[in-house]
Amino acid sequence: MITIDNRSNQPTLACASGDGTLTIIDISSKKMVIQSEPYKSLLTSCVTMKRKTKVVCGTGEGSLITFNTGDYSAFNDEFPCVDKGAAVNRLVPVTENIIISALDNGKIRATNLFPNCHLGIVGHHQEMSVDLLDISDNGHYIASTSYFSNIVKFWNIAFFEDFDVKKHFKKINPKEFNLPSSNVVNATDFFSGLE
């Protein structure tokens, strides 16, 4: 659930639900405003992006879908998953275009939206789903954990402040590309000094 302001600056609550709908509730009148058309999978989480003009929802199948703020009847864009069958448990916006997804396959993945492209893996939880994810006040770190673990992991994501998506997109397949925060060396980096 997230709070957003509608066109008349009235606070509203957006709720992602297991039936695949996004429900908008007017907080002041305590009434449902609108419910979206059902998506083919459950909606697991939602956040606002692009100065609160977009609502992005994670799905049970791993896709990200977007709604325009104020038009919640049906989603207007879908970005398919890279990790087939890995549900999005949590979403955290890092910049106006970059979002981080906590997946139930143990990966923490960065995605650029508007334009859509997968950036790579921010971090891993070995053999456990990533259930909780949050960002520090200064935006330089994210913390992640699992319901079944007493371990909280911290990932340095300060490099996203000056991240050039066009330059990065020329690199290898982002499906398995490990970003600097993951502390995992990419196989293609082995020969990087031989140019």
What is the tens place of the pLDDT at every residue in 136-188? Answer: 999 999 999 998 888 999 999 998 888 877 776 655 555 566 777 776 665 55
Beta bridge partners of 191: none
pLDDT given at position 176: 62
User: 43 and 98 share a domain?
Assistant: no
User: 40 and 106 share a domain?
Assistant: no
Task: Assess whether pLDDT exceeds 90 at residue 114.
Answer: no
3-state helix, strand, coil in the chain (%, to 5): 10, 40, 45
Q: Phi and psi for 129 in degrees, rounded to 5?
A: -70, 155
Highest mean pLDDT among 3-7, 18-22, 24-28, 157-161: 18-22
Q: How confident is the model at residue 62 (pLDDT cuts 50, 70, 90)?
A: very high
User: 89 and 177 share a domain?
Assistant: yes
In a domain? residue 164: yes
pLDDT given at position 8: 64
pLDDT given at position 87: 95
User: 91 and 178 share a domain?
Assistant: yes
Tokens found for residue 12: 């509203």
Task: Assess whether pLDDT exceeds 60 at residue 194.
Answer: no
Greater confidence (171 vs 5) lies with 5
User: 74 and 103 share a domain?
Assistant: no
User: 69 and 143 share a domain?
Assistant: no
User: Which distant-in-sequence residues (6+ apart) come within 8 Å of 20 by Cβ?
Assistant: 38, 39, 40, 41, 42, 43, 59
Task: Assess whether pLDDT exceeds 70 at residue 110.
Answer: yes
Task: Among 16, 51, 80, identify where a domain stops.
Answer: 80
User: 166 and 94 share a domain?
Assistant: yes
User: 103 and 168 share a domain?
Assistant: yes
Beta strands in 1-87, from DSSP E residues, in sequence order: 2-5, 11-16, 22-26, 31-35, 43-49, 54-59, 64-68, 77-79
Task: Among 80, 101, 136, identify where a domain stops.
Answer: 80
User: 95 and 37 share a domain?
Assistant: no
Q: How confident is the model at residue 115 (pLDDT cuts 50, 70, 90)?
A: confident
Range of the domain at 40: 1-80
User: 118 and 175 share a domain?
Assistant: yes
pLDDT given at position 31: 94
Task: Assess whether pLDDT exceeds 50 at residue 190.
Answer: no
User: 95 and 175 share a domain?
Assistant: yes
User: 70 and 108 share a domain?
Assistant: no
pLDDT given at position 5: 67
In a domain? residue 129: yes
Looking at the chain, the whole-number percentage of residues with pLDDT higher than 70 is 85
Greater confidence (124 vs 8) lies with 124
Looking at the chain, the whole-number percentage of residues with pLDDT higher than 90 is 56
Task: Among 35, 52, 80, identify where a domain stops.
Answer: 80
Q: Please, what is the average pLDDT of the chain?
A: 86
Total number of domains in the chain? 2
In a domain? residue 195: no
